[in-house]
Amino acid sequence: MQTYRRDKDGKHIVSLPLKENMQLGNSIQIAKQRLDRLNNDSSMANLYCNFMKEYEELGHMQKIDNSDNLKYVMPNHGVDRADSSTTKLRVVFDASAASTSGVSLNNCLLKGGVVQDDLFSILLRFRKQQVAFTADVKKMYRQFWVNPDQCNFQCILWKNRSCEEPSLYKLLKVTYGTKSAPYLATRVLNQLATDEIKEFPLASAVALKDFYVDDVLSGADNVSSALKLQQELISKSWWDGVAQMVCK
């Protein structure tokens, strides 16, 4: 995988698969309009502030002091999920919003192929397990870093209080809403499994055949084997300390 590398700290870093000769225009005005619309909804704004605060505290976005190399500003908005017991707000980064040239970031990105088994095959294997379990990867896309030279393609406008002037931030991780995100995340997962198959054969085998995007449907022939597999999957050593696997 030529657009992927791991640094000395074990971070997984990917490059955005950009098409050649695409001309992005300015998208900051539509980003401002979306932000102003958010400030008119106080309940949504409070949830949004909490989300963005966590995003920044986790080191997943960084304030930009110099906008000279700005490539694209993603408008973003929130979706109210009142019926959800866990996540009341879903933040949508709109990489499909057209810039002044009529071109969006998603127009400039290659989608990539499908690298995981189809859901039907995964479910068939899952139903055959004597002891089955499910799991997911917490914030899967955000387990993987974007090449620092390309983060200016993933900029947003944000302000913590309505009285403030908005500031520019760049998103440092693979971002939901970009066309290439599903491919990048699943392809790196496969690469990780291939790299770690000797040391973590059980977890690697599951990553290669029992993942559907960020969900795991797997199991074993008996309880003892299932517990051993579960522990290997949630081990930080397997993920090199970067991801959180939640087994259900």
Q: Is residue 229 over pLDDT 80?
A: yes
Which whole number is the average pLDDT over 186-211? 91
Q: Which tens digits make up the pLDDT trace of 39-75?
A: 777 777 788 888 899 999 999 999 998 777 889 999 9
Summarised one tens digit per residue, pLDDT across range 68-102 is 788 999 998 877 766 655 666 788 899 999 999 99
Task: Sketch the domain layout of the chain as residue ranges.
Answer: 7-247
3-class SS string, the chain: CCCEEECCCCCEEECCCECCCCCCCCCHHHHHHHHHHHHCCHHHHHHHHHHHHHHHHCCCEEECCCCCCCCCECCEEEEECCCCCCCCEEEEECCCCCCCCCCCHHHHECCCCCCCCCHHHHHHHHHHCCEEEEEEEECCHHHCEECHHHHHHCEEEECCCCCCCCEEEEECECCCCCCCHHHHHHHHHHHHHHHCCCCCHHHHHHHHHCEECCEEEEEECCHHHHHHHHHHHHCCCCCCCCCEEEEC
What is the pLDDT at residue 28? 93
Q: What is the fold of 7-247? A: HIV Type 1 Reverse Transcriptase; Chain A, domain 1 (3.10.10)
Whole-structure pTM value: 0.88
